[in-house]
A and B are shown apart, each in its own frame.
Chain A
């Protein structure tokens, strides 16, 4: 559900810290009819042009706070709300070249009432401005 609405098209940029390009960022939404506390986000997977980004190279930001995926597992006081656009950063030294890139984005979530742990995926081509 909401699979094709996970990757938002309103932001796609390189991330620059202290003068160095350290990765790229886009906005992602939780593919679900409600929000979830961050501890129930089991995994977020990102790939660009077929290249998977390592789990420890992904950062998740909402409400002015940034988390690693491991940190999120014990966050009980913050949420990824329904339809809320989180900033997803993939650390990749040098970032991405301007132009079109195929982004893949998957979220695995622990849903109390489901007898399985769903992973939902989206894939979109986004254009990075020069």
Chain B
């Protein structure tokens, strides 16, 4: 048993919530039933009106009532910061900082410990917002997400800026999708539905497994006669790679939340494309004691062919996580 805790980002249930098939309460109850007691949200997905219109106090009170009712813990409010809000010009720096402070406030109202910053946000903006986050007891975590990774100069710049600031309110939220060690089956199948011939799809999958540089794979696909979706299937390799989980170790003091990204969970509780056994080993080695929040993203890859069953997918990942962190979880058995 380790100190790692299980949670879910309600992003995982987007297919159901978008269509009104699950309410916020349904989502929270579902997580609690899986023993995933940490709740992460994208503020503007779960709360209509945020940020441009705002959210009334009565709605925030309902959120806290849900947390009490199900015994769940608010973990993170993922904010967006639309710095392209104005057509043709980027949002001015001071306004970006004010926008982050606004999300700090929203996170604090929801009882969150963290707010998630998207990876494209400039380090200077977050550093400028850090003192306010400290005041409010919130940490701002930049999501390290493919195609970026812990050795990328942009992330290094963030790390250096955080160290220079001396603020403990700045940190990282790694998304496990950056450790994509196999080409996801649901991606391959989607591209084949779009018309990619099997020989090319098999080749790209194999080339990914062999760690061939994306540019060579794209050229080879072209020379195999690939067009359109076949090129796109190879180009995915420009944005995804099998970076090594152990690269997180240098950053552990600032890693406070983890996105348990997954594209597919098999019936025997395996994510075929992301090495969760290795990931958990590294997180344990690094003394990680925060949450891993499930983030199901297979939905968009299968929705053209079948209705995603997000709840079952998340349940399977939670079983896997409970097993890997050595947690007895009888409540996770399939009904």
Give the number of residue pairs across the A-B interface with Cβ within 8 Å.
Answer: 78
In the complex, the answer to whether B19 meets A37 with C-beta atoms within 8 Å is no
> A124 near B: Cβ within 8 Å?
no
Partner of A79, one of B49, B81, B83: B49
B84 near A112: Cβ-Cβ < 8 Å: yes
**Residue of B with least CB distance to A117:** B84
A52 at the interface (CB under 8 A from B): no
Q: Which of B48, B53, B304 contacts A3 (CB 8 A)?
A: B304
- Minimum C-beta distance from B302 to chain A (A): 11
Identify the closest chain A residue to B147 (Cβ).
A115
Interface pair A113/B118, CB less than 8 Å apart: yes
Partner of B87, one of A5, A110, A111: A110
Pick from A19-27, A70-78, A86-94, A96-104 the stretch touching chain B: A70-78
A40 within 8 A of partner (CB): yes
| Residues of A with C-beta under 8 A to B19 | 5, 83
Shortest distance from the beta carbon of B97 to any chain A beta carbon, whole Å = 15
Query: A5-B18, A79-B52 are known contacts. Are A37 and B82 too (CB-CB below 8 A)?
Result: yes
**Residue B277 CB within 8 A of the other chain:** no
* Bound-complex Cα distance A125 to B258 (A): 43
Interface size on B, residues (CB 8 A): 29
Say yes or no for B94: interface residue by CB 8 A criterion.
no
When distances are taken between beta carbons in the complex, the residues of chain A under 8 Å from B52 are: 37, 76-79
Chain A min CB distance to B335 (Å): 27
Chain A residues touching B, range: 20 to 34
Question: Counting CB contacts under 8 A, is B44 at the interface?
Answer: yes
Residue B319 is within 8 A (CB to CB) of chain A in the complex: no
Contacts of A79 in B (CB 8 A): 44, 48-49, 52-53
Rounded to whole angstroms, the CA-CA distance of A5 and B18 in the bound complex is: 9
Main secondary structure of the interface of A (DSSP, over half): loop
**A39 at interface (Cβ–Cβ under 8 A)?**
yes
Alpha-carbon separation in the docked complex, A110 to B87 (Å)? 9
1/0 per residue, CB under 8 A from B, across A23-40: the answer is 000000100011111011
**Which has the most chain B C-beta neighbours within 10 Å: A73, A78, A83?**
A83
Inter-chain CA distance A17–B121, complex, in Å, is: 47
Q: Mark B66-94, 1 if CB is under 8 A from A, else 0.
A: 00000000000000111111110000000
Contact A81 B303 (CB under 8 A): no
**Residues in B whose Cβ lies below 8 Å from that of A40:** 82, 84-85
Q: Which A residue's beta carbon lies closest to that of B16? A: A83
- A82 & B48 in contact (Cβ 8 Å cutoff): yes
Q: Does B119 contact A (CB under 8 A)?
A: yes
B207 close to chain A: CB less than 8 A: no
Contacts A/B (CB < 8 Å), 8 sampled: A1-B299, A40-B84, A40-B85, A79-B52, A81-B48, A112-B80, A112-B82, A113-B120
